[in-house]
Structure 1
């Protein structure tokens, strides 16, 4: 007994389905991919604040990590030392667009106030405007009682 197929010889729609699946997968990855990227490339835990910060067109992100003697310090994605920070800011000050920029200082919770003040004074001495960045605070009525604020 010979078995015969009842389908046409070339069922085109069956060949198109894997291509459609592949197209949807690539599209999904392109839309979701940027959500997993960190903006400055350096991860710090900033303290919460009840004030929302506006977006700035020209901004320089300085990230200050924890450390007593020599903290983790980044300008954008580039790691710098305290001594190199002044030179880097002076180099950015010569650019016409960046001379009008504001410096956004992201400070980790574990950083001492003295170190934050020292970096702030270096930034202000360079002639830039300064803004301290913090997390937005969740209103108390929206907080989950099972999660403590220290987490």
Structure 2
């Protein structure tokens, strides 16, 4: 007895199913992937503060991280103190309003170092705000 297949010679839908599975996995990876990324870029443990500021679009964020000497970040760029002052003065020259700088510092940064950097920024004619993290339950 000879077995004869009743299927057509080319079964198209059987070849499409694995492709649809791959597309579904790719879609899930693309949709969920960004949620697992660290958005801040620089990990800082800030002190607790009761006061919260609304972020302005044109403010500069200066981050101080622990190290010897203290590591200074302007946005996502690592800078020295001299570079910080020169870049802030360059930005200040074209502005007619008083620009704002947010100063985020790690808890391990001594208050004297934080104040010294804040005075450098103030010397560049920026308004300085010190940032902290909110207390638990006050968001």
Give the TM interval when normalised to the shorter protein: 0.7 to 0.9
TM-score for both structures, normalised by structure 2 = 0.77
Deviation at 1:2, TM superposition (A): 4.6
User: Where do residues 24-63 of structure 1 align in structure 2 (5 Å cutoff)?
Assistant: 24-35=24-35, 36-39=37-40, 41-63=41-63
Cα deviation digits, residues 94-140 of structure 1 (max 9, x gap):
3449x664212110010000011011111122122222222232129
SS state of the match for residue 109, structure 2?
A: coil
State the alpha-carbon separation in 2 of the partners of residues 50 and 8 from structure 1. Answer: 73
TM-score for both structures, normalised by structure 1 = 0.72
C-alpha spacing 1:38/1:117, structure 2 compared with 1 (3 Å)? same
State the alpha-carbon separation in 2 of the partners of residues 2 and 134 from structure 1. Answer: 81
Deviation at 1:38, TM superposition (A): 3.1
Unaligned runs of 5+ in 2: none
State the alpha-carbon separation in 2 of the partners of residues 88 and 9 from structure 1. Answer: 70
Asked if the contact 2:98–2:125 (Cα under 8 Å) also holds between the matched residues in 1, the reply is: no
Deviation at 1:63, TM superposition (A): 0.9
Aligned length in residues? 137
RMSD across aligned positions (CA) = 2.8
Asked if the contact 1:70–1:81 (Cα under 8 Å) also holds between the matched residues in 2, the reply is: no
Deviation at 1:34, TM superposition (A): 3.1
C-alpha spacing 1:7/1:119, structure 2 compared with 1 (3 Å)? farther
Deviation at 1:13, TM superposition (A): 3.5
C-alpha spacing 1:21/1:60, structure 2 compared with 1 (3 Å)? farther
C-alpha spacing 1:93/1:109, structure 2 compared with 1 (3 Å)? same
Unaligned runs of 5+ in 1: 141-151
Q: Which residue of 2 aligns with 1:146?
A: none
